[in-house]
Amino acid sequence: MEELLNLYQTMGISPAVYAYGEETLDRIKDRFAAIDKIAEYNQAKVLSAMQKNKVSAACFAATTGYGYDDVGRDNLEKVYADVFHTEAALVRPQITCGTHALTVALSANLLPGDELLSPVGLPYDTLQEVIGIRPSPCSLAEYGVTYNQVDLLPDGGFDYDGIRSAINEKTKLITIQRSKGYATRPTFSVKQIGDLISFCKSVKPDVIVMVDNCYGEFVETVEPSDVGADMVVGSLIKNPGGGLAPIGGYIAGTKRCVDRCAYRLSAPGLGQEVGANLGLMPSLYQGFFLSPTVVAGAEKGAIFAANLYEPLGFKCVPNATESRHDIIQAVELGSEKAMVAFCKGIQAAAPVDSYVDPIPGDMPGYDSQVIMAAGAFVQGSTMELSADGPIREPYAVYFQGGLTWAHAKLGILMSLQKMVDAGLLTL
């Protein structure tokens, strides 16, 4: 398309980068079709939950103060519970982010003397202070909750023998992180998570299993709550907010676990009865409605990036051809300079703040410097096109999001362009 190429050229994309992108796209058409099928299924799943719960304009009204009898909020929680096939859900703008949602779920369900087990290696950076792996005031460790960890085997598989011997009489809750986060291990499929949950429950039937579902929602047709998780937890400025939710987190799970979470979030005795929606219901409902197709667009972007970068000699996790279980694409760039160039490209392609230059800096909750590129309508939203990564070996950027596939494509082409412009590679 001559017209498109001309426009892209005025935006800084060279004909060579564009042509390389088109060649790449030709190879991955079938995968895009498969993603559209999953999105179609998940769209119907969300739609039928909204219909079943009779979502109406009354659900969009703002409430203030205590938020008693907030029908919009209560109904949204029923919609989430139906989509995740759980007894209950807590979906709140008062949950400030994913880390907060996970903190609520953990601290509500672990008491002094209990032990938390991660059978999948070190949890996400920000959770390390929550747990007390890195000491912090108010960590679970400070409250007398101990932590145990079993690393993955060298091939990325579960260490079943290690897990069996790590589960003891104190083990109360097992946390499984679905997505790789800032690690370079593979992301687990829902099937793998189901196998792990079955194993853990065969060793200790009453153990609570929580899945950190960040970035995984709607990538498959099933969720960890379909395969035995007692709680699935995530952020509304990632997948399930569909790019429209300006804040929030969710916990879907058994009534017993979710009730405790609500008591922890507000206060014992108050639970889910309080919490005004402050006028955010339209974007929380509409974002959830859009999420399956937004996730599909982001996943296409991730697959495009892997197929663009891998042939140029950069290791991609997941690689160009393997199946996907979240929307994150890690590209190992091998140097700080390349990370900066890549992130400049993502930033330059953004609808917001496209004129700023990302540079590495310190971030609360992270123990090395981090570079972040994001020009988002919602600050920090990684459902929107963004790239980030800690400045440390193997100098991997974690690329994710894109509210539309067309924007994801342009951002990735721009990242490649900046790498070429910096003399880091030639096409």
Binding site for ligand PLP (CB under 6 A): 97-99, 124, 126, 177, 179, 181, 212, 214-215, 235
Q: For ligand PLP, which is the closer residue by CB, 78 or 325?
A: 325
CB of 231 to ligand PLP, least distance (A): 14
Smallest separation (angstroms) from ligand PLP to the CB of 91: 14
**Least spacing, CB of residue 203 vs ligand PLP, in Å:** 25
50 or 247, CB closer to ligand PLP? 247
Nearer to ligand PLP, 63 or 179 (CB): 179
Please state the closest distance from residue 370 (CB atom) to ligand PLP, in A: 12
- Minimum Å gap between C-beta 199 and ligand PLP is 21
Indicate the residue among 18 and 288 with the shorter CB distance to ligand PLP. Answer: 288
Which residue, 213, 237, 253, 249, is CA-closest to 93?
249
Kindly state the tokens that stand for 36: 């559209």
Q: Which of 344, 416, 396 is nearest to 374 (CA)?
A: 344
Residues 405, 309: Cα–Cα separation, whole Å: 18
Q: How far is the CB of 251 from ligand PLP (least distance, A)?
A: 13
Peptide bond into 318 cis (omega under 30): yes
- For ligand PLP, the closer of residues 208 and 416 by Cβ is 208
The residue (of 41 and 366) whose beta carbon lies closer to ligand PLP is 366
Please state, in angstroms and rounded to a whole number, the distance separating the CA atoms of residues 96 and 334.
Answer: 34
C-beta closer to ligand PLP: residue 46 or 383: 383
Q: How far is the CB of 97 from ligand PLP (least distance, A)?
A: 3
Within a 13 Å sphere around the CA of 270, how many CA atoms are in the beta-carbon half?
10
Task: CB nearer to ligand PLP: give 177 or 266.
Answer: 177
Instruction: Compute the least distance from the CB of residue 239 to ligand PLP, in Å.
Output: 10
The distance of closest approach from Cβ of residue 182 to ligand PLP in the complex, given in angstroms and rounded to an integer, is 8
By beta carbon distance, the residue nearest ligand PLP is 98
Rounded distance between C-alpha atoms, residue 425 and residue 342, angstroms: 12
Question: How far is the C-alpha of 37 from the C-alpha of 293, rounded, in Å?
Answer: 10
Q: Which is nearer to ligand PLP, 8 or 399 (CB)?
A: 399
232, 224 contact by CB (below 8 A): yes
Closest approach of Cβ 219 to ligand PLP, in Å?
13
Check: CB of residue 418 under 8 Å from CB of residue 342.
yes
Closest distance of CB 74 from ligand PLP, Å = 24
Beta carbon nearer to ligand PLP, 98 or 119: 98
Output 181 or 271, the one with its CB closest to ligand PLP.
Answer: 181
